[in-house]
Amino acid sequence: MSSRPTTCIPLDHESLTVSKGHNAPQQVHIAQGDYDGKAVIISWVTALEPTRSEVFYGKEEKRYDRKAKGRMTNYTFYNYRSGCIHHCLVDGLEYNTKYYYKIGIGDPAREFWFRTPPAIDLDAPYTFGIIGDLGQTFNSLSTLQHYVKSGGQSVLYVGDLSYADKYKDNDGGRWDS
C-alpha cells in the first residue's frame, strides 16, 4: 500500500506543467500507426489557435529531413470546447530504429523521440506494459515511475487518463492536463 495520498495531483505540480511559449504543443502522445510497426500516429493539442498539423522527423537529433502532414479537429461538450487536436501519420519507418521528431515551429516547438519495434518475428524480444484507468493522483505518478524503471518499450493505456467529473463544469484545466 502506498504511503502517498490518492488525492489529485495539483495542477501546478511539476508532473503536470504546461509547455512555455505562445500556443505551445501540449498533451503529446504517440500510437502505433499500422499493423506492422512501421508507422506511428503523433497527436497533440494547441490550446489557443489552429496551427499546421506537421511533424518534422529524422534519425539524428535536431536533424529533421522528413516531414509528415496531418489534420486538425476539435469538439464541444456542453460548456467545454476543446483545443485544436492534431493527428499526424508518420509512416514508411524502419524497424528497431530511433527517430527524433519536432512539432510546432519557432519558440514553442517541442522535440521528442521514439523507437520503432523490432521486425515481426515470433522470437523478437519486446517488453510492454498495460496500464488502466490511470487518473491523476500521486499513486498514478508512482505507477508511471515504476513502469519507467521496468525498461518497457511501450505501454498500452486502457481506460481513463483523467477524472474531471468532480470539478465544476468538468474544469477545463483538469480535463486538459
- Per-residue model confidence as pLDDT tens digits over 31-54: 999 999 999 999 999 987 888 999
> Which residue did the predictor score with more confidence, 173 or 58?
58
Give me the pLDDT at residue 151, please: 87
Q: pTM score > 0.85 for this model?
A: no
Contact between 112 and 100 (Cβ < 8 Å): yes
pLDDT band at 165 (very low <50, low <70, confident <90, very high): low
Architecture of the domain made up of 22-121? Sandwich (2.60)
> Which residue did the predictor score with more confidence, 114 or 81?
114
pLDDT band at 56 (very low <50, low <70, confident <90, very high): very high
- Per-residue model confidence as pLDDT tens digits over 81-96: 889 999 999 999 999 9
Mean pLDDT, residues 86-109 taken together: 94
What is the length of the chain?
Answer: 177
Give me the pLDDT at residue 177, please: 52
Chain centre to alpha carbon of residue 93: 19
For residue 91, what are the CA distances in angstroms to 18, 47, 49, 57, 94?
Answer: 28, 26, 27, 11, 9
Q: Domain ranges in the chain?
A: 22-121, 127-177
Residue 89 neighbours by CB under 8 Å, 6+ apart: 33, 39, 40, 41, 68, 70
pLDDT band at 66 (very low <50, low <70, confident <90, very high): very high
> Which residue did the predictor score with more confidence, 111 or 7?
111
- State the first-to-last Cα distance of the chain, in angstroms, to the nearest integer: 26
What are the beta bridge partners of residue 103?
Answer: 55, 110
Give me the pLDDT at residue 64, please: 97
